[in-house]
A and B are shown apart, each in its own frame.
Chain A
Amino acid sequence: MASHPLVRFEDAGYAAAGTLILRGVNLTIEPGDILGVSGPNGAGKTTLLRLTATLHRPTSGVCSVLDADADTRPEELAAVRRKIAMVGHFPAVWPELTLRENVELVSRLRGDPPSEDPLRTVGLEALERWKASRASLGMKRRVEFARLLTWTPRLLLLDEPHAGLDAAAAPLVDEVVGRVAANGGAAVLVSHDPGRVTPLITRRILVSAGEVSEEIR
């Protein structure tokens, strides 16, 4: 069987509250792809990412993610979503829970088998009993990457992954992205500054004023 795309956009558009954000998107993402998405502020990069994460539905056209689309039943959709990981622009942590609980809760909800201590890998083991509300942005970012160490997503979506991370933590991004691609998955990295995105990138995409185009290398 020929390689089967993980994500397929066909003439997809997205409008919210009467404003057109993306239009005429045609894009396929194959296994092993590592996409770098760049473009000016407000061009629609984050919306493209959320469409790929099934968090938004296109208002026109088709967007099929891991074979889930408009006809997918809720139970199957939940199973598909479990294969997607997103690290968004703002860190997703519960401020009242400790750093350890923040990592543990997600893996409990996902039902992942216990693995060796991910907090140690990201260098937070000494602070694991801190409440997340005390942690800095960089620490929260590390917590998010610690969550990604316990499993390998099929689709990894990163929005400005280096924001808040110090230089010592940057290899974390490369490691996670590399592992996903090696396992037949794909990664999408959004950054308005393409120079800083990881060297692993295989394709570059430009989003500008709601339109998506492939950049020729």
Chain B
Amino acid sequence: MKTKIDILQRLFFLITAAAVVWGLYLAARAPGEATQGDAAKLLFVHVPAAITAYLALGVGLLAALWYLIRRSPAADRMSSSAIEVGVIFTVVTLVSGMIWGRAVWGLWWDWNDARLMSTAIMFFYYMGYLALRRSIIDPEARAGRCAVLAVIGFIQIPIVHYSVLWFRTLHQGPTILRPDGFRSTMDEEFALSLAVGIMAFVAAMTLMLTSRLTLSRLQDARNDLSGLGPPVGRGVTAPFMGGPTMGGPTMGGPNG
């Protein structure tokens, strides 16, 4: 049986495929860059992958905060799925970045570079997140602890970044997010290919995220044999961060 979501997902798959093909075509057609030659074409993979990774991990963080406030199982599913997807794009960012670095700087790796180092540390940190997730069986404890870990990571990763940045860095400045807009540093044909690349990556990420979400929803439904709904979010003790709980009636009941 096909549901509305199935059809939507298929449609999205087609859009993603089209964007990827268009992006590849543009990248193949683009001329080599003035000083870097064809190596610069890695830009069309590296930058979109990095943006997508940060986007996914950002969604993961917001969902984790949402979980800590409302303790909703849906927030936990969103958080973990987004982080899983984010880790994959982090790997793509790191690998493409290393290849590019080898071609341009002459080095696979530079320990003085803030973005390389903070991305790598972030990657290992989220590996820890995934390991923790696998180790906890109780869904409520797992959701709570993983949400806390995601929040700590969010607090600490900027510090990691700035601590590595303390050295002057070899990495070029930001290409897109600059006050004067990207046109000032990039020729138009590069800009178009890059834009399409970003679109393709974000579309692919969304596709992966929605599929992963569907999967975790099915897993949760399968694991819940209680008939009481997911065993998360109600109870006797105080809510996590002072927000309202989803619990039923409270003080001064009929017997009181």
What is the distance, in angstroms, from A153's C-beta to the closest C-beta of chain B? 18
- Known A10-B253, A17-B137: A68·B236 in contact at CB below 8 Å: yes
Residue in contact with B251 in the complex, picked from A23, A56, A65, A69, CB distance below 8 Å: A69
- Nearest neighbor of A77 in chain B, beta-carbon distance: B238
What is the distance, in angstroms, from A37's C-beta to the closest C-beta of chain B? 19
Assess whether A8 is in contact with B253, with CB atoms less than 8 Å apart: yes
Residue in contact with A19 in the complex, picked from B225, B232, B250, CB distance below 8 Å: B225
- Nearest neighbor of B242 in chain A, beta-carbon distance: A73
Is B101 among interface residues, defined by CB-CB distance under 8 A? Answer: no
- Known A62-B248, A64-B251: A57·B228 in contact at CB below 8 Å: no
Give the complex CA separation of A56 and B237 in angstroms: 8
- Residues 170-199 of B at the A interface (beta carbon under 8 Å): none
Give the complex CA separation of A73 and B137 in angstroms: 28
Assess whether A28 is in contact with B255, with CB atoms less than 8 Å apart: yes
Is A208 among interface residues, defined by CB-CB distance under 8 A? Answer: no
- Residues 22-72 of A at the B interface (beta carbon under 8 Å): 23, 28, 51, 54, 56-65, 67-72
Assess whether B228 is in contact with A63, with CB atoms less than 8 Å apart: no
Give the complex CA separation of A73 and B236 in angstroms: 11
How large, as a class, is the contact surface on chain B? 20 to 34
- Known A5-B255, A10-B253, A71-B250: A65·B226 in contact at CB below 8 Å: no
Give the complex CA separation of A8 and B256 in angstroms: 9
Assess whether A61 is in contact with B248, with CB atoms less than 8 Å apart: yes
Is A16 among interface residues, defined by CB-CB distance under 8 A? Answer: yes
Is A20 among interface residues, defined by CB-CB distance under 8 A? Answer: yes
Assess whether A16 is in contact with B235, with CB atoms less than 8 Å apart: no
Q: Do most interface residues of chain B lie in helix, strand or loop, or is the interface mixed?
A: loop
The residues of A that contact B242 with a CB separation of less than 8 Å are 73
Residue in contact with B236 in the complex, picked from A4, A15, A19, A69, CB distance below 8 Å: A69
What is the distance, in angstroms, from A5's C-beta to the closest C-beta of chain B? 7
- Residues 145-159 of A at the B interface (beta carbon under 8 Å): none
Give the complex CA separation of A19 and B237 in angstroms: 21
* Binary per-residue interface labels of chain B (141-184) against chain A in the complex, 1 for a CB within 8 Å, 0 otherwise: 00000000000000000000000000000000000000000000
Give the complex CA separation of A108 and B253 in angstroms: 36
Assess whether A20 is in contact with B250, with CB atoms less than 8 Å apart: no
Assess whether A10 is in contact with B228, with CB atoms less than 8 Å apart: no
- Nearest neighbor of A54 in chain B, beta-carbon distance: B236
Assess whether A69 is in contact with B225, with CB atoms less than 8 Å apart: no
- Nearest neighbor of A75 in chain B, beta-carbon distance: B238
Q: List 6 A-B contacts (CB under 8 A).
A: A17-B138, A20-B227, A63-B236, A69-B247, A70-B238, A71-B251
Other A-B contacts than A8-B253, A16-B138, A54-B236, 9 sampled, CB-CB below 8 A, are A4-B256, A18-B139, A19-B225, A20-B227, A56-B235, A62-B248, A62-B250, A70-B239, A70-B248
